């Protein structure tokens, strides 16, 4: 199985999706180590352009730092249709983001006369947390504890997603005759 690229998507790209990106980077590339063999690229963006060019929310950064993630850097960007071709997995943080991305993807397929398999898969990141349909509530208007809850979710979802990829890789290896 070739390494995959993963894009995390929320609304403004300053709270949830950069936290997911930072956590996923941390889990797949420990200090002084190479990337996880199944991961090629990791990024995040927002469906809205509210914060383009801004760094992550200070509460996102302090939550990451409090959990040992100190080297993460990011500037917010808006989702582009080209992301469907660039990324294998596009992970939405909530149902609204998921609906927006699915609508854009369908439109892109129809407008460009493409096949479904030619574009990255749009999924709810919370589906990898043990309970299908779990969403990450936007902590932007809340207090710091919302960021702590989001962080815990990012750890669970990231580990669940990595286990899924590892199972797929093992199945592909077995099917190709390797041990």
* 146 phi, psi to nearest 5 deg: -65, -30
Q: Render 47-85 in DSSP notation, one character per residue.
A: SS-TTTTPPPPHHHHHHHHHTT--S------B--TTHHH
Instruction: Return the active site residues.
Output: 10, 16, 138
Q: What share of the chain is helix, strand, coil (3-state, %, to 5)?
A: 45, 15, 40
Burial 161-175 (b: 16+ CB within 10 A, else e): bbeebeeebeeeeee
Report how far Cα 166 is from the mean position of its chain's Cα atoms: 17
CA–CA separation, 155 and 139 (whole Å): 16
CA atoms 134, 139, 142, 147: torsion sign: positive
CA atoms 56, 58, 64, 70: torsion sign: positive
């Amino acid at each position: 199985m070739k390494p995959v690229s993963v894009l995390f998507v929320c609304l403004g790209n300053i709270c949830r999706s950069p936290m997911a990106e930072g956590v996923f980077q941390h889990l797949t590339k420990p200090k002084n180590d190479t990337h996880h063999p199944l991961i090629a690229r990791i990024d995040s963006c927002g469906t809205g352009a509210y914060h383009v060019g801004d760094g992550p929310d200070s509460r996102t950064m302090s939550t990451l730092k409090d959990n040992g993630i100190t080297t993460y850097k990011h500037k917010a960007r808006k989702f582009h249709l080209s992301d469907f071709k660039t990324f294998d997995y596009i992970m939405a943080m909530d149902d609204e983001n998921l609906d927006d991305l699915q609508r854009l993807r369908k439109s892109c397929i129809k407008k460009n006369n493409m096949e479904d398999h030619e574009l990255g898969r749009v999924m709810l990141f919370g589906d990898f947390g043990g309970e299908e349909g779990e969403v990450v509530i936007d902590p932007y208007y809340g207090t710091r504890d919302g960021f702590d809850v989001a962080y815990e979710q990012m750890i669970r979802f990231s580990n669940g997603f990595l286990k899924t990829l590892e199972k797929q890789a093992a199945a592909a290896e077995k099917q190709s005759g390797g041990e």
